[in-house]
Amino acid sequence: MNSSEVLVVDKLVKYFPVKGGFWRRAHGQVRAVDGVSFTVQPCQVFGLVGESGSGKSTIGRLLVGLYRPTSGTITYRGKMQMVFQNPGSSLNPRRTVGKTLELPLRLHHKGLTRKELRQRVAELLTQVELNPEYANKLPRSLSGGQKQRVAIARALASDPKFIVLDEPTSALDVSVQAKIIKLILELKDQLQLSYLLISHDLSLMRNVADVTAVMYLGKIVEIAPTAELFANPAHPYTQVLLASIPVVSVEEEALKPTKRLVEGEIPSPLQIPQGCSFHTRCPEAMEICTRVAPELLTINPDHQVACHLHGKRGES
Ligand SMILES: Nc1ncnc2c1ncn2[C@@H]1O[C@H](COP(=O)(O)OP(=O)(O)O)[C@@H](O)[C@H]1O
Ligand SMILES: [Mg+2]
């Protein structure tokens, strides 16, 4: 890890055993994350997009230590925290907001007096734009957006340098989503945070992420600075994903890649296709794709794609 990086993920793998039958023996494995590498810079929003089941949340949980990797390494500076999709279930219904925030404060700042704790709780609530009086409330009296603000305040309580945001707004009303995103971005600048932003929402990525990585069945298939990815999507899967974003203007329609619908269902992660795992749905699949898994290759500065259409010259 060099001095400018806050997170380095190297060849990360997570397989889950699948148990079943009378003896509950493992009879296979889900390849949830299958050799993922990336780095995140200070104050960067690193976006992870992909269909449901592609392994995004598993990466988030590996980063914060909720899962242990099957193999590969995760190196980072400072503390790491996570904000989950559903603020309703991530907050203890019987604990007041104040108590919820005091727990991590007590763990990470040992020796705080009760008065200092109360002060710090009030500061955290102010930071997420909630009235400090909310300390006395129980989660059930809060709206979804307010609960997510509390979850963000709880993540901030241990002074992290890095926060994993797993679909932080997808359980919220559209009108609330924009406000939470605005808050998240303001906090990033104020506190010099870096984020791993997990979402299946490409419009959100386009607006928020500095770098976007596209996942398919446990692998990153394309990664680039967000503007570059949206302007020059190189992987047929990325092109299909971008073609499915709703269009708001004629100008946008003109910029969109040719519409091609992705064919068929996403394969089961228990039986990932041989070769390129996307070949069963790819509109441009070639013979080599059924046999050889493509590696991530650099096609433009900072732009990498794993696809035989962009193979090394003379080899594909
Ligand atoms: N704890 C677990 N045990 C077994 N399989 C899991 C577990 N967590 C996730 N998976 C499987 O791993 C794959 C990736 O899941 P996940 O990381 O949640 O995807 P995403 O967040 O992109 O929707 C899915 O097939 C999912 O069913
Ligand atoms: Mg998920």
pLDDT at 316: 41
* Confidence band, pLDDT 50/70/90 cuts, at residue 252: low
* SS3 assignment, position 291: coil
For ligand 1, atom 3, name the residue with the nearest CA: 16
Spatial contact of 255 and 245, defined as CB atoms under 8 Å apart = no
Domain ranges of the chain: 7-78+161-229
Residue 143: CB atoms within 10 A of its CB come to: 12
State the alpha helices, DSSP H only, in 194-268: 202-208, 226-231, 236-243, 250-255
What element of type H or E holds 114?
helix 114-127
pLDDT at 3: 75
pTM above 0.75, yes or no: yes
Report the separation in Å between the CA atom of 277 and the middle of ligand 2, taken as the mean of its atom positions. Answer: 20
pLDDT at 256: 57
Q: pLDDT digit string (tens) for 15-24? A: 999 877 666 6
Q: Is the dihedral of CA 48, 51, 55, 57 positive or negative?
A: positive
DSSP string for 120-164: HHHHHHHHTT--GGGGG--GGGS-HHHHHHHHHHHHHTT--SEEE
Nearest ligand (C-alpha, residue 51): 1
Rounded CA-CA distance 43/49 in Å is 19
- DSSP letter at 38? E
pLDDT at 137: 97
Q: Which residues contact 221 (CB under 8 A, 6 or more apart)?
A: 214, 215, 235, 237, 238, 278, 305, 306, 307
Q: Can you tell me the mean pLDDT for 261-270?
A: 76
Report the separation in Å between the CA atom of 255 and the middle of ligand 1, taken as the mean of its atom positions. Answer: 34
Which atom of ligand 1 is found nearest the CA of 58? 17
% of the chain with per-residue pLDDT over 90: 76
Q: Which residues contact 116 (CB under 8 A, 6 or more apart)?
A: none
Greater model confidence, 62 or 109: 62
% of the chain with per-residue pLDDT over 70: 91
Report the separation in Å between the CA atom of 247 and the middle of ligand 1, taken as the mean of its atom positions. Answer: 30
Q: What integer best gives the mean pLDDT of the chain?
A: 91
Q: Is the dihedral of CA 217, 218, 219, 223 positive or negative?
A: positive
Q: Is the pLDDT of residue 186 over 90?
A: yes
Q: Is the pLDDT of residue 206 over 50?
A: yes
Spatial contact of 176 and 208, defined as CB atoms under 8 Å apart = no
Q: Which residues line ligand 1 (CB under 6 A)?
A: 16, 30, 32, 50, 52-58, 269
Report the separation in Å between the CA atom of 137 and the middle of ligand 1, taken as the mean of its atom positions. Answer: 34
Rounded CA-CA distance 200/191 in Å is 26
Q: Is the pLDDT of residue 260 over 60?
A: no
Q: Is the pLDDT of residue 121 over 50?
A: yes
- Ligand 1 binding pocket mutation candidate from 14, 16, 64 (most atoms within 8 A of CB): 16
- Ligand 1 binding pocket mutation candidate from 29, 52, 58, 86 (most atoms within 8 A of CB): 58
Q: Can you tell me the mean pLDDT for 235-253?
A: 78
pLDDT at 284: 93
CATH architecture of the domain with range 7-78+161-229: 3-Layer(aba) Sandwich (3.40)
pLDDT at 246: 67
Which atom of ligand 1 is found nearest the CA of 59? 17
